[in-house]
Structure formats: C-alpha cells, structure tokens
C-alpha cells in the first residue's frame, strides 16, 4: 500500500483536477462551522487508502487527526447536502470530458442498473432499517437494498446514482423515519427509500439523462424485466436489453397468442446442432401510453452451464443483430465487479457505522468516489491516449518527420540523377535544389534546411 503522503497527494490532485470544490457548491454543500466541506470530504476519501478506520483514527490518533470527530459527524449527518446531485455531476463531467473523447463514436455506451445487499446485520437502531432478502444466502437479513445506476463503455464502469431502499411494506421496516424538515434533500431520499424499486429505477434513469450522459441502452437482469418497466424505459427514449425469466403472470404476444416464456420457447423453431443462438423472434409486450404497440426481440441462447438449458434476452431494438444483443448484454457484468470491489476493498457498509440515513448516503457516496478515482486511474494506465495533448503532439510530430524525410530523399535522388545522368556541375545542382526549396512552404523550408545541415 502506498505511503500516507502519496495517498493524500493523489487524492488532493484528483480533487484539484476535477474541481471538487465547485461541484460541492453546486450541490448545496456549505460550511456549518470550522472546516470547509471540501477538506472534510477529501480527508474521508483518503482514509481507506491509508489503511485507517474512521472511528479508531479519530479516537486513538486524536492528536494527529486534522479534524475532531464532531466536525466529521456533522458533515456526515447533514440532511441539506445533495449527495445525489454531487455524484451525478462528478461522474457526468468525467464521462464527457475524459472518457468519451477517447472512444470511437461507434462504441456502444450503456446504462446498467442492479441492486446489491447493503448489510447492517448487527444494527438495531438504524433509521429505516428493514428486513431485506439476500439472494446469495437465500434468507432475510437486516439492511437495505442498494439500487445502483452506472455507466459503461465496455472498458470503464462509473457509478452515476444510487438509492438505499428500505422496504415498501411497513411490516418489514424495523425502524421508522426520523422527524425532519420536508423541504430537505434528506427527506426526499427517505421518501424514495420506501417506494418500489421499479419506480426508483425510472427516477434514477430520468435524472441521469438530464445530465446528458451518453448511452444507447439500459441493461438489467431478470429481477426488473417486466413489460411495464420496459415500456416506461422506452418512453424515456432509451432501448432496453435485459435477461428474462419465465413467470406465469408475464406473457408475450406471438402470432396472435399470449404465451409465457416457457411456452414461447417451445413454440419457436430452434437451430440444429450446437449453435449458441438457438432462435430469435419478434413479440409484442403491450402498448405505450399513446396506444402504440411495443415490439421487442427475444433471443434464446444456449446455457453453457447446463445441458438442455437455455437463456432468454430481450431488446426493444428489433433491428439489432442477435450476436450484438449478446455482446452488449455482456457489459452488465461490470456492475457485479463494481459491487465486489466496493465491498471487499473500499469499505462499503463496514467503514462507517452511523445510525442516521444521511450518514449512510454520505458513506456510500464516499465509497463511490474512491471507485471513480481507481477506475479513472485504471483507464489512464491502459489507454495511452489518456496522457492528453502529449499523445497527439507525438503523433503529429511523427507524421511531420516522415513527410520531411520523404522530401529529403526525393531531393537526394534528384541530386544523384543530375550528377550522374546529366553530368551537371555541383554548383549548378545546388543552385537548382536551392531554387526548389525556396519555393516550398515556410514549414518545409525550415525543416529541410535543418535536415541538410545535419547531413
């Protein structure tokens, strides 16, 4: 692990380069007393890279800590700060200014949405704490569902927005909401936490699109693949690619019949042999609010994990080739890597143990900032064009040198021809070459003059 000084310098440079102070001001961050919000946030982001825990650092290293614990807790528990807007501003600026300019216009950029368990298994008095289902352990645990919207170009994944969902059912909520001003950002996030995940999904998507984040498709797994959700996403002028699961209540219209996914698979003609794509068909999944029917393509794919099994992918872009549907959906795996990285290495749900909902939102955002820094550093290490203007300067210089060398070779060949074939005097040959060079553009005259002098 890098030294504390190196870690602090790296975070400080990141904050300076991306103008975090201005972004905080735009997101309603203000100093209550004592220390600027930028300094407090920079300190909290740096902690994990120094291998230190907040509580232990503030209590055991109180003399060395730049802030007292009251200043940090006031910052984390403030309900007026708009963490959602801050994260959207930061991610969208990095995407538009640092990543999109480095990628080809033909590359497919996507939104990805998924949820993951935000565990608080040992907590009892945490605000809006709920019993949520853990799909890995297949049991109910205490915590929240962290619904996350991210962006990817297939190489780099960046989180855009999230919501810590409690439970829509009051009976599953172990703690209620604290009394507070209903005009604050904290109250809006709390009200959002007790809505359906599909409603929050659409709201997160709407907010991300408002920040002009470029994406052609929304990717999600079978937990959200309901026709009503797919239609509402399409109403936001965005195509969907998602995994399907067979549910008895969800049917698709095909050749005048409403069929479940299993019956639909049985009805279509499959390809012979060991083809990866077994079949693809066009179905209808209901109507838009305007009354226009919505068509979608379902691609049936062979499941490599089990023989005689299949998977189904749906897209509202019916012109997209089958292989392209599969390739683009493969980008959804980036969000799973993001969840693993955040929980295993960046301290998600473990570093801060605050009881207020605001402190948990602040904590998740801080973890996401760390991931954004690492993702950007990884991109800089893998893509040589990210060294900025120096890359283009080098490219231009190489092109100029190659052209000058070609002209220089032409003049040398001409000099050799005049001397051997026409047997002209050296003075006459030099006079002729000087005349040709003098009529060239000034850029070439300067370069050729230097080249001849060096030779």
Co-location of 304 and 394 in the same domain: no
400 & 320 share domain: no
As a whole number of angstroms, the distance between CA 39 and CA 41 comes to 6
Length of the chain: 455
- Output the six-digit token pair for 56: 């232990």
State the CB neighbour count (10 A cutoff) for residue 143. 21
Please indicate, yes or no, if residue 443 is contained in any of the structural domains. Answer: yes
Asked if residue 298 is part of any domain, the answer here is: yes
The HSE-up count of residue 28 (CA atoms within 13 Å, CB side) is: 11
Last residue of a domain, one of 309, 325, 341: 325
Give domain status of residue 143, yes or no: no
With respect to residue 65, please indicate whether it lies within any of the assigned structural domains: yes
The last residue of a domain, from among 77, 92, 111: 77
Q: Is residue 254 part of a domain?
A: yes
191-220, pLDDT tens digit by residue? 999 999 999 999 999 999 999 999 999 999
- Rounded Cα gap, residues 187 and 356, in angstroms: 12
DSSP 211-242: TT---SEEEE-GGG--HHHHHHHHHTT-EEEE
Each residue's pLDDT tens digit, 115-141: 999 999 888 899 999 999 888 788 899
Say if residue 314 is in the same domain as residue 222.
yes
Which own/partner contact pairs does 374-377 have at CB distance under 8 Å and 24+ positions apart?
A: 374/341, 375/156, 375/157, 375/158, 376/14, 376/94, 376/98, 376/156
Query: In angstroms, rounded to a whole number, what is the distance separating the alpha carbons of residues 172 and 99?
Result: 42
Same domain, 313 and 409: no
Nearest to 116 by CA among 312, 405, 273, 340: 340
| Residue among 356, 344, 239, 337 at smallest CA distance from 296 | 239
Residues 221 and 309 in one domain: yes
Counted domains in the chain: 3
Helix axis angle, 442-454 to 426-438, nearest 10°: 150
For residue 401, being part of any structural domain is answered with: yes
User: Are both 404 and 306 inside the same structural domain?
Assistant: no
Q: Is residue 128 one of the residues assigned to a domain?
A: no
pLDDT by residue for the chain (455 residues), tens only, comes to 446 788 889 999 999 999 999 999 999 999 878 889 999 999 999 988 888 777 777 776 555 667 788 888 999 999 999 999 999 999 999 999 999 887 777 889 999 999 999 999 888 899 999 999 888 788 899 999 999 999 999 889 999 999 999 999 999 999 999 999 999 999 999 999 999 999 999 999 999 999 999 999 999 999 899 999 999 999 999 999 999 999 999 999 999 999 999 999 999 988 887 788 999 999 999 999 888 999 999 999 988 777 668 999 999 999 999 999 999 999 999 999 999 999 999 989 888 878 999 999 999 999 999 999 999 988 887 665 554 444 444 444 434 444 555 556 666 666 666 666 666 777 777 777 777 777 766 655 665 554 444 44
> 11 is in which domain, residue-wise?
4-77
3-state DSSP assignment of residue 146: strand
Listed residues 38, 58, 77: the one ending a domain? 77
Same domain, 316 and 222: yes
How many CB atoms neighbour CB 137 within 10 A?
9
The pTM assigned to this predicted structure is 0.81
Structural domain includes residue 291 = yes
């Amino acid at each position: 692990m890098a030294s504390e000084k190196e870690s602090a310098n790296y975070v400080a440079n990141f904050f300076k380069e991306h103008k975090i102070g201005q972004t905080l001001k735009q997101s309603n961050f203000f100093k209550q007393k004592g220390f600027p919000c930028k300094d407090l946030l920079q300190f909290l982001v740096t902690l994990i890279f120094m291998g230190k825990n907040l509580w232990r650092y503030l209590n055991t290293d109180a003399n060395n800590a730049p802030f007292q614990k009251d200043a940090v807790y006031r910052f984390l528990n403030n309900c007026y700060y708009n963490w959602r807007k801050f994260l959207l501003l930061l991610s969208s600026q990095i995407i538009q200014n640092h990543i999109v300019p480095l990628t080809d216009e033909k590359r497919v950029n996507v939104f990805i949405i998924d949820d993951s368990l935000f565990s608080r298994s040992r907590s009892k008095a945490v605000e809006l704490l709920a019993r949520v289902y853990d799909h890995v352990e297949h049991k109910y645990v205490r915590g929240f569902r962290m619904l996350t919207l991210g962006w990817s170009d297939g190489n780099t994944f960046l989180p855009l927005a999230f919501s810590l969902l409690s439970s829509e059912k009051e009976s599953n909520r172990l703690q209620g909401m604290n009394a507070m001003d209903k005009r604050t950002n904290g109250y809006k996030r709390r009200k959002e936490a007790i809505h359906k995940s599909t409603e929050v999904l659409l709201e997160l998507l709407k907010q991300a699109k408002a920040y002009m984040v470029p994406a052609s498709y929304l990717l999600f797994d079978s937990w959200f693949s309901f026709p009503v959700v797919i239609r509402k996403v399409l109403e936001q002028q965005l195509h969907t690619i998602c995994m399907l699961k067979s549910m008895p209540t969800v049917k698709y219209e095909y050749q005048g019949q409403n069929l479940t996914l299993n019956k639909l698979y049985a009805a279509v003609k499959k390809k012979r042999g060991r083809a990866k794509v077994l079949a693809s068909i066009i179905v209808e999944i209901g109507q838009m609010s305007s009354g226009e029917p919505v068509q979608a393509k379902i691609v049936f794919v062979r499941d490599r994990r089990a023989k005689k099994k299949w998977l189904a992918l749906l897209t509202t872009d019916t012109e997209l080739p089958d292989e392209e549907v599969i390739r683009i959906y493969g980008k959804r795996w980036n969000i799973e890597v993001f969840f693993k990285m955040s929980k295993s290495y960046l301290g998600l749900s473990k570093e801060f143990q605050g009881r207020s909902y605001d402190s948990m939102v602040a904590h998740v955002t801080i973890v996401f900032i760390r991931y954004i820094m690492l993702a950007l550093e990884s991109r800089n290490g893998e893509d040589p064009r990210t060294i900025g203007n120096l890359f283009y300067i080098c490219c231009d210089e190489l092109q100029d040198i190659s052209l000058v060398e070609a002209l220089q070779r032409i003049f040398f060949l001409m000099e050799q021809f005049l001397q051997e074939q026409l047997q002209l005097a050296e003075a006459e040959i030099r006079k002729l070459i000087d005349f040709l060079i003098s009529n060239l553009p000034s850029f070439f005259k300067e370069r050729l003059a230097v080249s001849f002098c060096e030779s």
